Amino acid sequence: MMDYVAAAPAAMEENIRRSETLAGPLAEEYVRGGYRDLWIVASGSSANAAWCARPFLRRCLRCEVKVLTPFTFTVSEHDFSPADMVIVVSQSGYSLNALSAAALVRSCGRRCIALTADLESDLAKAADLAVDYGAGRETVGYVTRGVTTLALFFMLRFMRRLPKTDEPSA
């Protein structure tokens, strides 16, 4: 695990360098879809990363950003509107809860948008748009690089391709 912690800064530098390539598809979807608010459906380390990025996203996008677990999303809080971009996140792409959330999004007639570190995963295959957020593969039980790279993805790369706006309000 400590090897992944030590490697995180280099991975993040590489992702900053590749930000246009990695961020482009999700940012273009956000703009093209005319979305207003953002729903991030994630659990575990992916949810932790989303919570880290949430204040920044709210300030820069000037929208509401919800972070929900897949269980909460599928069982009780899935009243999203066409103006809400719903993103299902799973670093491995094999979380059964994330797959259930993705199925619910599609059953509502909406595009399924997924963030994962494995574009060959079940979640990526179930999605209309699957984006690799640059975590790479981690083979230990504690995903450490995934948290930092996902938070960076939301805070830097996703924002980088959005249209410039006036200075955000405080």
Question: What integer pLDDT is reported at residue 97 of this predicted model?
Answer: 95
Question: What integer pLDDT is reported at residue 23 of this predicted model?
Answer: 76
Domain 2-160 class, CATH top level: alpha beta
- Within 13 Å, how many C-alpha atoms sit on residue 132's CB side? 13
Question: What integer pLDDT is reported at residue 169 of this predicted model?
Answer: 47
- Asked whether 42 and 147 are in contact (CB, 8 A), the reply is no
| Positions of the chain with pLDDT lower than 70, given as ranges | 1-9, 134-146, 157-170
Distances in whole angstroms, Cα of residue 91 to Cα of each of 7, 80, 119, 141: 17, 23, 10, 12
Q: Pick the closest to residue 89 from 20, 52, 24, 39 (CA basis).
A: 39
> 0.85 cut: is pTM over it?
no
Question: What integer pLDDT is reported at residue 152 of this predicted model?
Answer: 80
SS3 category, 9: helix
Question: What integer pLDDT is reported at residue 54 of this predicted model?
Answer: 94
